[in-house]
Chain A
Amino acid sequence: MVDLLGSVRGGRDVRPRRNPAGTPVRTYLRLAWTWCRAMAQYPASLVLMSLATSLGAIAEIGAVLVVYTHAGRLAGFDVHEGLLIAGLATTAFGCANMLMGSVESLGQHIRTGTLDAMLVRPVSPLVQMATDRFAPRRLGRILPAAGVTAYALAAAGIDWTPGRVLALTVFLVSGTAIACAIWVIGACLQFVLPDAREAAHSVTYGGQALVEYPLSVYSRGVVRAATFVVPLSFVSWQPALYLLGRPDPTGLPDALRLATPLVAVLLCALAAATWRFGLRHYRSTGS
């Protein structure tokens, strides 16, 4: 915006700093903390909802356990290897849901006009959207998932080398980043179809359900789609194959698993571009 008044007053630059709230990360933390404090006003409710969220995650992993108990080995993977895959998937999607899950309310913000209010504030709209109604109860999902992952890492008989320890960290960050990017790209669909919130659930919650199991369970087409179209396989399947040191039973090259961090970077770039494109072409709902 041109500071007309400033130039009238003698040309002194009185424009505010471009981002008075600080870097996006700091703004994010500050806004998220605000919501945490708001939620903490109802401590009983927060505790109960966190417990319920944990129970939901435990039940999902319990279902995986039930399947392996009946099957013994599922598509060549035993229960510990299976829990590792499920744990990595639930942890990554759990973290992404907490960090970016709120963006899926985009359609509602467009409908009610609150997106317009976000656009006039000097803070990135994506940060505002992601921290809107930030839900600390979602930690209740991450903790059991992380616990199961830790157990499976210990029990799956992994040959630990310094390289694998480093790789695990890289995989956890990449998996979360990929899941966050999928959430953002899925939400951008609502720039075009504000009612289609549920469609993105097929790749977010559906994506998690898909990669909770070894991909060799699915048909060839599904595996190819989950690797090259929506790169869900890099959230849990490819990392697990690397950690377990197993060849890819679906016939894809083994080197693919090394591309995990690259996929995460590319997908985040794509998500940023999609978000910008959507925002540029957004025209308010009118009066």
Chain B
Amino acid sequence: MRVYCAVAARGLRRYSTYRAAVAAGLFTNSVFGVINAMVLLALFAARPEINGYDAEDAVTQVFVAQGLIAVVAIMGSPLELGERIRTGAVATDLLRPVSLLGWWLADDLGRAAFHLVFRGIPVFAVGAFLFDLLIPTDPWRWAAVAVSIALATLVSFALRYLYELAGFWLMDTRGVQTVAGLLGPIAAGMLLPLPLFPAGVGEVLRLLPWASIVQLPAEVFLGKDTLPGGTVLSGLAVQAGWALALFAFAAWATSRATARVVVQGG
């Protein structure tokens, strides 16, 4: 366990080195948040309520989503596993007496923790300063939000790990990354909140794991009854279910991949 803590701490420290990148990301996420929020405010000025969402709900979700962008790394994956598989450096990773999945999970959780504090919370604060956001007052709700963000990070990690693990079969994962980087944010409810989508599309997207990355945490934050099952607890259960299923699949795929891996040079 100590080794995973050490890896997580290194992941955290590594990202804390690039301060200009943090400031740049914070600025950009805030600008996007303001643009999206203003468009949605104009929309809700024309129609005060859409599928259980009002203007405040939608604007709050915009800033929850912008705050989560860096934490769940939805626009692109900073895991280096795919590149290491391509170059063969993954052989070094496999020599270590720790699990491949656990190693990269620890590394990513360190990064996520750093981004939550230095990108997620500041972006949300900018939103709360500029717009009227619905901020929960119930301490239990905050606890649920914390759990939900943690589960969103796990689901997002498991998905990104699987994209990269595809490198064992495909060699080059850039195609997978491009597709996932373009379609992931839409399916997650980052482009528009899922309740605004046409009825059929929104329902289908809700059944997919990407909804657990942004849409469900936003609804837990808002305490909406549009959550699957209608309550915060059932929403968290869906997220936990996806996390478990994806991790089980990732562990199985890892064992399959490492059983067949042949690294150049012997």
Interface residues of A (CB under 8 A from B): 42, 45, 48-49, 52-53, 55-56, 59-60, 63, 66-67, 69-75, 137, 193-199, 201-202, 205-206, 209-210, 213, 217-219, 222
Residue of B nearest to A197 (CB): B24
Task: List the B side residues contacting A75 at CB < 8 Å.
Answer: 42
Task: List the A side residues contacting B182 at CB < 8 Å.
Answer: 52-53, 55-56, 59
Q: How many A-B Cβ pairs are below 8 Å?
A: 102
Q: Does B18 reach chain A (CB closer than 8 Å)?
A: yes
Interface residues of B (CB under 8 A from A): 18-21, 23-25, 27-28, 31-32, 34-36, 38-39, 42-43, 46-47, 50, 172, 174-175, 178-179, 182-183, 186, 191-192, 196-198
From B43, B174, B183, A56 is in contact (CB under 8 Å) with B183
9 contacts between A and B (CB under 8 A): A52-B175, A66-B192, A70-B47, A70-B196, A71-B42, A71-B43, A206-B32, A206-B35, A213-B42
Complex Cα–Cα for A261 and B192 (A): 34
A74–B20 touching, CB < 8 Å: no
B36–A74 touching, CB < 8 Å: no
Complex Cα–Cα for A219 and B174 (A): 40
Write the nearest CB–CB distance from B13 to chain A, whole angstroms.
Answer: 16
Task: List the A side residues contacting B39 at CB < 8 Å.
Answer: 67, 213, 217
Task: List the A side residues contacting B172 at CB < 8 Å.
Answer: 42, 45
Task: List the A side residues contacting B186 at CB < 8 Å.
Answer: 56, 59
Residue of A nearest to B186 (CB): A59
A206–B31 touching, CB < 8 Å: yes
Complex Cα–Cα for A95 and B32 (A): 21
Write the nearest CB–CB distance from B86 to chain A, whole angstroms.
Answer: 13
Summarize B's interface: helix, strand, loop or mixed: helix
* Nearest 9 CB-CB pairings of A with B: A199-B24, A71-B46, A56-B182, A196-B24, A202-B31, A195-B21, A217-B42, A195-B20, A52-B179
From A53, A60, A137, A195, B24 is in contact (CB under 8 Å) with A195
A53–B43 touching, CB < 8 Å: no
Task: List the B side residues contacting A213 at CB < 8 Å.
Answer: 39, 42
Write the nearest CB–CB distance from B25 to chain A, whole angstroms.
Answer: 5
Write the nearest CB–CB distance from B146 to chain A, whole angstroms.
Answer: 26
B43–A70 touching, CB < 8 Å: yes
Write the nearest CB–CB distance from B99 to chain A, whole angstroms.
Answer: 31
B175–A209 touching, CB < 8 Å: no
B191–A73 touching, CB < 8 Å: no
A217–B38 touching, CB < 8 Å: yes
A71–B32 touching, CB < 8 Å: no
Residue of B nearest to A206 (CB): B31
